[in-house]
């Protein structure tokens, strides 16, 4: 058995978010981190490794510097990394991204007892779409919003969170599970892991590596293969210093409630 974990490097939005004058995100000025939910997915994989001795492969699509993130994950305990990188892949929306990542997972090799893990969603796009879309492209079952994962042989049992409770869902490998932060507390890199992380392999898959897969076509990857396009992006009007409402009585509160209603907040 092996566990393939899809991870993404994202701008750290816990600091100041920098926006260009044209309304796009100024990524260059922001530090990058491993997407938080993806770290929970890696931890889930490493827990399975602790219990079963399975192999853990971390895969990311991104520019060459994303290799550094894969090395960090290897220092946490992953066995090897795959960096999917190429200018043909740039500008991909979630549909095109899932085509490419599914092709990469096929290249790594998805065996009958393997599991694919993803974070629920990335903090830069917040779409939560790529995991489900990879599962569709691989034609394997998916279980999203996992707060607990148990694996016994080829049987996978997941506690799947809903807004008002949860479901327990069983399926068979190979399958894809998306992970949420309630699942676990990600471990730190170990000293030995940091020492060894450059000794373990990180393969680079470019367009040529994947081009023979039927999922990889000019009109299914990159900007040209993305069904969705950004039509406009913009910043909301600046938050003023705020407004002090007159008084502190019934009318004041009614005015506040009316404002919140107008803004669809209540």
Stretch 94-133 residues interacting with another protein (CB under 8 A): 94-95, 98, 123-133
Among 25, 147, 189, 194, binds another protein (CB under 8 A): 25
Nearest distance in Å: CB 127, another protein: 4
* 261 sits near another protein (criterion: CB under 8 A): yes
**Between 199 and 263, whose beta carbon lies closer to another protein?**
263
Q: Are 246 and 252 in contact (CB under 8 A)?
A: yes
Nearest distance in Å: CB 218, another protein: 14
What CA–CA distance (Å, rounded) separates 3 from 9? Answer: 19
* 188 sits near another protein (criterion: CB under 8 A): no
* 259 sits near another protein (criterion: CB under 8 A): yes
Output the furthest CA–CA distance in the chain (Å, rounded). Answer: 70
* 144 sits near another protein (criterion: CB under 8 A): yes
* 242 sits near another protein (criterion: CB under 8 A): yes
What CA–CA distance (Å, rounded) separates 221 from 42? Answer: 26
Q: Are 18 and 25 in contact (CB under 8 A)?
A: yes
* 40 sits near another protein (criterion: CB under 8 A): no
* 35 sits near another protein (criterion: CB under 8 A): no
**Between 106 and 166, whose beta carbon lies closer to another protein?**
166
**Between 40 and 133, whose beta carbon lies closer to another protein?**
133
* 164 sits near another protein (criterion: CB under 8 A): yes
**Between 191 and 265, whose beta carbon lies closer to another protein?**
265
Nearest distance in Å: CB 17, another protein: 4
* 171 sits near another protein (criterion: CB under 8 A): yes
Give the residue among 203, 150, 196, 205 at the shortest CA–CA distance from 173.
150
Give the DSSP H/E element, type plus range, for residue 52: helix 36-52
Q: Is 109 left (phi over 0), alpha (psi -120 to 50) or beta?
A: left
Q: Is 80 helix (H, G, I), strand (E, B) or coil?
A: strand
Cα dihedral 213→218→223→225 (10° resolution): -80
* 185 sits near another protein (criterion: CB under 8 A): no
Site for another protein (CB under 8 A): how many residues?
82
* 260 sits near another protein (criterion: CB under 8 A): yes
* 266 sits near another protein (criterion: CB under 8 A): yes
Axis crossing angle, helix 36-52 with helix 67-76, rounded to the nearest 10:
40
How are beta strands 175-179 and 115-119 bridged, if at all?
A: parallel
Among 172, 201, 217, 223, binds another protein (CB under 8 A): 172
**Between 162 and 191, whose beta carbon lies closer to another protein?**
162
Q: Are 222 and 99 in contact (CB under 8 A)?
A: no
């Amino acid at each position: 058995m092996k566990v393939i974990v899809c991870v993404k490097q994202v701008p750290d939005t816990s600091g100041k978010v920098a926006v260009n004058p044209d309304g796009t995100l100024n990524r260059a000025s922001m530090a990058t981190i491993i997407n938080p939910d993806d770290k929970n997915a890696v931890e889930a994989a490493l827990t399975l490794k602790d219990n079963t001795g399975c192999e853990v492969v971390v895969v990311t699509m991104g520019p060459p510097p994303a290799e550094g993130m894969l090395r960090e994950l290897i220092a946490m305990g992953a066995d090897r990394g795959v960096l999917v990188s190429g200018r043909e892949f740039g500008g991909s929306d979630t549909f095109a991204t899932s085509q490419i990542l599914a092709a990469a997972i096929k290249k790594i090799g998805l065996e009958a007892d393997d599991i694919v893990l993803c974070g629920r969603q990335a903090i830069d796009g917040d779409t939560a779409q790529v995991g489900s879309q990879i599962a569709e492209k691989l034609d394997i079952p998916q279980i999203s919003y996992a707060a607990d994962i148990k694996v016994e042989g080829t049987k996978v049992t997941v506690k799947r969170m809903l807004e008002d409770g949860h479901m327990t869902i069983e399926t068979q490998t190979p399958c894809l599970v998306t992970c949420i932060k309630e699942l676990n507390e990600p471990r730190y890199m170990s000293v030995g892991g940091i020492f060894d992380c450059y000794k373990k392999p990180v393969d680079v898959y470019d367009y040529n590596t994947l081009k023979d897969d039927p999922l990889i076509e000019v009109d299914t990857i990159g900007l040209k293969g993305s069904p969705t396009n950004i039509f406009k992006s913009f910043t909301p009007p600046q938050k003023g210093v705020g407004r002090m409402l007159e008084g502190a009585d019934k009318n004041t509160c009614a005015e506040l409630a009316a404002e919140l209603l107008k803004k669809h907040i209540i």
